[in-house]
């Protein structure tokens, strides 16, 4: 392990696209401390194609990963096992002062577990989020990661409450804000306007529509892995498309299910405009200019709240309740009538105005880096 007089080597782990957005401001904040930190980026390869991962490094200012585990796809068990097996030698080779993990994907859990077993301190950013639904693989990951972690940074007040309720010692918990919003604020002015993005893909008429457009993202297993659920959601979106054009960048997992179940015709309905997976700046551009957003993504619930855009979450719960209590988000579930009624209310009345949650000010990573330095210097007390 690092001596107090040398730079603190921090292994910074990313695996999936949302991890990259969260890690970018953290790496920048660690590097801003000069030679105090020696951050080393580890990419597990959980998202391994350019559309879902590679292009984001350059846009977000992340250096190329120093280590790529090359895990790729697979079941939850095989993916987690592969990361564990490949990350352990990295720990042996680098003997870090700490391992920094973000979010709740399989890579986050596997690297936290490997580090804990090797005695390397684990720092978890975005700790304490809970949906209460253990049917979500991410929920299981969140609970286990937090129990393995030594220093836990919550992104909203509910995270602190959840961790305390689960027996995490108060001195290990910090509330320093939301690094996802750091990335958003750092890049929102660089995002192209929606008209330019849609025009690139042949949606000029939609981009110029006086009524605007809605934006849809869909990728959660509960929504896309079962034929009947996916069919009903896409049919509901097609109905909504008769009221408001819907722009739909289709996640690779979702497209695979659509093809598997023979639902391609629902992407060709009037008012539904299919796009390929988009880069980070393009997604921000579409989010900020949308009249409403429909999603099952946790990160997009946060981004729409920060941007003041009405959001309908197509799930029965959310692990980010501050986006509902303070922000622009409404959890509507998967029932057609509820989705259409909520969308109509937004189109008629404008939806929630919301407010920015506490410490979502674009400086969370700076506060986290300062806390990590104090914690390491004090011997991880």
One domain for residues 227 and 343? yes
pLDDT reading at 209 higher than 80: no
> By the 8 A CB rule, do 233 and 241 touch?
no
Between the CA of residue 255 and those of 48, 50, 51, 217, 306, what are the distances in Å?
17, 16, 14, 12, 28
> By the 8 A CB rule, do 320 and 357 touch?
no
Question: Of 219, 251, 325, 349, which residue is the catalytic one?
Answer: 219
Exposure class string for 359-374: b at 16+ Cβ within 10 A, else e: bbebbbbbbbbeebee
Rounded to the nearest integer, the mean pLDDT of the chain is: 93
CATH for 30: 3.40.50.2000
> By the 8 A CB rule, do 40 and 9 touch?
yes
Sheet holding 311-313, edge to edge: 272-275, 246-249, 214-216, 292-295, 311-313, 329-331
| Span 214-225, pLDDT tens digits | 999 999 999 999
In a domain, 1, yes or no: no
pLDDT reading at 122 higher than 80: yes
183 class by beta-carbon count within 10 Å (0-12 exposed, 13-18 middle, 19+ buried): buried
One domain for residues 343 and 364? no
One domain for residues 319 and 221? yes
pLDDT tier for residue 4 given thresholds of 50, 70 and 90:
very low
Domain count, the chain: 2
Average pLDDT rounded to a whole number, residues 249-265: 95
Average pLDDT rounded to a whole number, residues 238-264: 95
One domain for residues 93 and 202? no
Identify the H or E element spanning 213. none
pLDDT at 2: 54
Average pLDDT rounded to a whole number, residues 214-237: 97
For 316: left if phi > 0, alpha if psi spans -120 to 50, otherwise beta; the answer is alpha
> What is the domain range of residue 125?
8-178+360-377
In a domain, 355, yes or no: no
One domain for residues 172 and 213? no
One domain for residues 373 and 290? no
Average pLDDT rounded to a whole number, residues 354-381: 95
One domain for residues 197 and 169? no
One domain for residues 66 and 168? yes
CA 246 to chain centre: 22
| Span 133-160, pLDDT tens digits | 999 999 999 999 999 999 999 999 999 9
pLDDT reading at 49 higher than 70: no
- Is 251 among the catalytic positions? no
Average pLDDT rounded to a whole number, residues 70-90: 91
Q: Give the span between the Cα atoms of 250 and 163, in whole angstroms.
A: 34
One domain for residues 223 and 87? no
Q: Give the span between the Cα atoms of 275 and 297, in whole angstroms.
A: 17
pLDDT at 267: 94
Query: Whose structure tokens read 């200012």?
Result: 61
pLDDT reading at 342 higher than 80: yes
In a domain, 3, yes or no: no
């Amino acid at each position: 392990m690092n001596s107090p007089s040398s730079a603190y080597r921090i292994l910074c782990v990313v695996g999936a696209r949302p991890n990259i957005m969260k890690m970018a401001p953290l790496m920048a904040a660690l590097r801003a401390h000069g030679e105090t930190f020696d951050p080393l980026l580890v990419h597990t390869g959980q998202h391994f194609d350019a559309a879902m991962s590679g292009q984001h490094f350059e846009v977000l200012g992340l250096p190329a990963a120093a280590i790529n585990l090359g895990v790729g796809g697979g079941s939850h068990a095989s993916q987690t096992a592969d990361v564990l097996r490949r990350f352990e030698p990295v720990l042996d080779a680098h003997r870090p002062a700490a391992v920094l993990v973000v979010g709740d994907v399989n890579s986050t859990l596997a690297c936290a577990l490997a580090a804990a077993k090797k005695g390397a301190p684990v720092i978890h950013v975005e700790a304490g989020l809970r949906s209460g639904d253990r049917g979500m693989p991410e929920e299981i990951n969140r609970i286990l990661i937090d129990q393995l972690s030594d220093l836990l940074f919550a992104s909203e007040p509910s995270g602190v409450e959840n961790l305390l309720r689960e027996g995490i010692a108060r001195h290990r918990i910090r509330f320093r804000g939301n690094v996802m919003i750091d990335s958003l604020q750092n890049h929102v002015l660089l995002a192209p306007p929606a008209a330019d993005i849609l025009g690139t893909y042949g949606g000029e008429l939609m981009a110029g529509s006086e009524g605007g457009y809605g934006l849809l993202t869909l990728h959660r297993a509960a929504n896309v892995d079962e034929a009947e659920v996916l069919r009903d959601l896409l049919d509901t979106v097609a109905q909504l498309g008769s009221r408001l054009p819907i722009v739909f960048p289709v996640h690779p997992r979702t497209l695979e299910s659509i093809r598997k179940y023979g639902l391609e015709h629902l992407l060709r309905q009037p008012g539904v405009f299919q796009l390929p997976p988009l880069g980070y700046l393009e997604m921000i551009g579409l989010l900020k200019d949308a009249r409403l957003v429909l999603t099952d993504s946790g990160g997009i619930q946060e981004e729409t709240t920060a941007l003041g855009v009405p959001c309908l979450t197509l799930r029965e719960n959310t692990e980010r309740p501050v986006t509902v209590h303070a922000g622009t988000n409404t959890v509507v579930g998967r029932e057609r009538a509820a989705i259409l009624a909520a969308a109509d209310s937004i189109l008629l009345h404008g939806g929630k105005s919301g407010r920015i949650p506490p410490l979502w000010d674009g400086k969370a990573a700076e506060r986290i880096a300062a806390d990590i330095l104090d914690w390491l210097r004090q011997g991880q007390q």
